Structures are given as structure tokens and as C-alpha cells.
């Protein structure tokens, strides 16, 4: 598997943890995020990751900002992207199973009830269930038209 990651200044340490965790699962990571806490704009980071994802060869993307909200909203404005912002492992698994999310977002300044690494694992270990969910995902994607 291969993933693209991007972050802003609000999630530098979290992105490092995510990169390390994914690599421990033998997932190749292309980290496009910043490594300092110098201010940058999360919409630019979302676009950078999505542009790279669209080149092909990636299985999913991970986006991080202070809350995960701004960067996930930004990604979801871009055609073909379904970026989930899970609050726990259950939501992370269903993001894949029901919504076929191709991006997942987290907040570096959020105190989650479940560890981000555990949420990532729930997302990665789940599979899209298709069926009625495929119909719904198609309707989501039709909203871009």
C-alpha cells in the first residue's frame, strides 16, 4: 500500500506519528507536510496532497491540521475526494465500509478518546462493503456535477 500525507503547522507532531505508524505497517508514505510550526494554510496542504493522490499509485491519503476540520473541508471541495474526519475507531471503520473514504483527516490539537493510530488501523483494516453503500457513494459523487 501507498499513502500520501500532508499537514499544516497545527499537526506536525501528529503527522510524524502517523507516518511512523503507517511505515510500521509496511505502508509506503509520501509525506508532503511541513516539519516546522511555521504558519501555513491548510487549504494549500489539502490541495497539494490531493494533486499528488490524483497522479495515481496511492491507496489513500491522510490530512492533518489543528482540528482536522479545515483541511477535511478543503479536501472535500476537490473532485473525487471523500475525506472522513472520524471521532473514534467505529467512525473510522465506517468511513471505509460505508463511505469508501479515500482520505482521512485528524486534528493535532484534539484530545481523541481513541488513539489516532488505532483509528488509522480501524480505517485500514476495514473494506468497502458495496451494495446499498455503493449507491449512496455514487449519489455523493453525483453532487459534484
pTM score of the predicted model: 0.97
What is the CB-side half-sphere exposure of residue 96 using CA atoms within 13 A? 18
> Which position among 64, 83, 89, 98 bears the catalytic label?
98
Catalytic residue, candidates 64, 65, 83, 89:
65
Report the pLDDT value the prediction gives residue 69, as an integer from 0 to 100.
98
pLDDT band at 64 (very low <50, low <70, confident <90, very high): very high
Domain boundaries, the chain: 2-142
First to last CA, the chain: 30
| Burial readout 37-74 (b: 16 or more C-beta within 10 A, e: otherwise) | eeebebbebbbebbebbeeeebebbbbbbbbbebbbbb
Residue 112 grid cell: 481523541
**Does the CA dihedral 56-3-60-124 come out positive or negative?**
positive
pLDDT at 20 (0 to 100): 98
CATH superfamily, region 2-142: Sugar-phosphate isomerase, RpiB/LacA/LacB (3.40.1400.10)
pLDDT bucket at 100, cuts 50 / 70 / 90: very high
What span, in angstroms and rounded, lies between the C-alpha atoms of 36 and 116?
Answer: 20
Mean pLDDT, the chain, integer: 97
Residue 36 has a pLDDT of 93
Active site includes 65? yes
Predicted confidence (pLDDT) per residue in 7-26, tens digit: 999 999 999 999 999 999 99
User: Under DSSP, is residue 104 helix (H, G, I), strand (E, B) or coil?
Assistant: strand
21 is an active site residue: no
Amino acid at each position: 500500500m501507498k499513502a500520501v500525507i500532508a499537514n499544516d503547522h497545527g499537526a506536525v507532531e501528529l503527522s510524524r506519528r502517523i507516518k511512523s505508524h503507517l511505515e510500521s505497517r509496511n505502508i509506503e508514505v509520501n509525506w508532503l507536510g511541513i516539519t516546522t510550526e511555521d504558519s501555513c494554510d491548510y487549504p494549500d496542504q489539502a490541495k497539494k496532497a490531493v494533486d499528488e493522490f490524483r497522479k495515481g499509485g496511492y491507496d489513500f491519503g491522510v490530512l492533518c491540521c489543528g482540528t482536522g476540520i479545515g483541511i477535511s473541508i478543503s479536501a472535500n471541495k476537490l473532485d473525487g475526494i471523500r475525506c472522513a474526519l472520524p471521532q473514534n475507531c467505529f467512525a473510522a471503520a465506517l468511513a471505509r465500509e460505508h463511505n469508501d473514504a479515500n482520505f482521512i483527516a485528524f486534528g493535532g490539537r484534539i484530545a481523541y478518546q481513541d488513539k489516532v493510530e488505532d483509528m488509522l488501523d480501524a480505517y485500514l483494516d476495514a473494506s468497502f462493503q458495496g451494495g446499498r453503500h455503493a449507491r449512496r457513494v455514487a449519489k455523493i459523487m453525483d453532487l459534484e456535477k
